[in-house]
Chain A
Amino acid sequence: AQRVTQPEKLLSVFKGAPVELKCNYSYSGSPELFWYVQYSRQRLQLLLRHISRESIKGFTADLNKGETSFHLKKPFAQEEDSAMYYCALTIYNQGGKLIFGQGTELSVKP
């Protein structure tokens, strides 16, 4: 069965420090991977999708099929980055079912 693991429940860094939120997945085929973010009192929103290879709000994520990872990185954290981050996987031919990790709460201290 497909599975997404985010090993850190909470990640606390200081403003200006680099950030790496870890995500590992288990799936033998070619997954579609995403990062979603939920700011306080806001709805879950899409941050990144691996097929786009884009950088949003300074965040990037690279799919490493060898290590089955999709870590989210930002070189310099900002206080406004504090939020809950979810890694998610979908398999296109399985009807758009998103499998989420448990989430990592990022806290950026001033």
Chain B
Amino acid sequence: KAGVTQTPRYLIKTRGQQVTLSCSPISGHRSVSWYQQTPGQGLQFLFEYFSETQRNKGNFPGRFSGRQFSNSRSEMNVSTLELGDSALYLCASADRGDYGYTFGSGTRLTVV
């Protein structure tokens, strides 16, 4: 069974640009969550999608958005990038949240 796949693995963007990150969940998993990981703030929840609907959102500005497609694949978009958006962005999928989420390897975003 393939794991959670995130693309690309690394990204370098310029301040003010926008970026789209992609996540393919484990087959059959309908819930996809996104997290931002930084040395200072740790792991912070961005949002979660279930069957194409956003069920929950963390405390991030509106520049951070996401969506989920009918095949459960998800994308996350960050517009007007800031230096502080440099982080590891993790995607996780689950069939049911209380059984625990499986994480991808992440996309390392560097904003210069």
Number of A-B contacts (CB under 8 A): 62
B89 at the interface (CB under 8 A from A): no
A97 with B98: in contact, given A43-B106, A44-B103, A45-B103 (CB under 8 Å)? no
CA distance A101 to B100 in the complex (A): 16
- Find A99's partner among B45, B48, B101 (CB 8 Å cutoff): B45
A96 with B48: in contact, given A43-B105, A43-B106 (CB under 8 Å)? yes
Give the B-binding residues of A (Cβ under 8 A): 32, 34, 36, 43-46, 49, 51, 86, 90, 92, 94-103
| In contact, B98 and A100 (Cβ under 8 angstroms) | no
| In contact, A97 and B103 (Cβ under 8 angstroms) | no
Size category, B interface: 20 to 34
A100 with B42: in contact, given A90-B97, A95-B56 (CB under 8 Å)? yes
A51 with B98: in contact, given A97-B58, A98-B45, A100-B42 (CB under 8 Å)? yes
- The list of the 9 closest CB pairs from A to B, nearest first, reads A96-B97, A95-B55, A95-B56, A100-B43, A44-B103, A46-B100, A32-B98, A97-B56, A43-B105
- Find A44's partner among B31, B44, B48, B90 (CB 8 Å cutoff): B90
A98 with B31: in contact, given A51-B98, A90-B97 (CB under 8 Å)? no
- Find A43's partner among B35, B97, B99, B104 (CB 8 Å cutoff): B104
Q: What residues of B have a CB within 8 angstroms of the CB of A101 in the complex?
A: 42
B50 at the interface (CB under 8 A from A): yes
A46 with B55: in contact, given A96-B31, A96-B48, A98-B35 (CB under 8 Å)? no
Nearest to B56 among chain A residues (CB) is A95
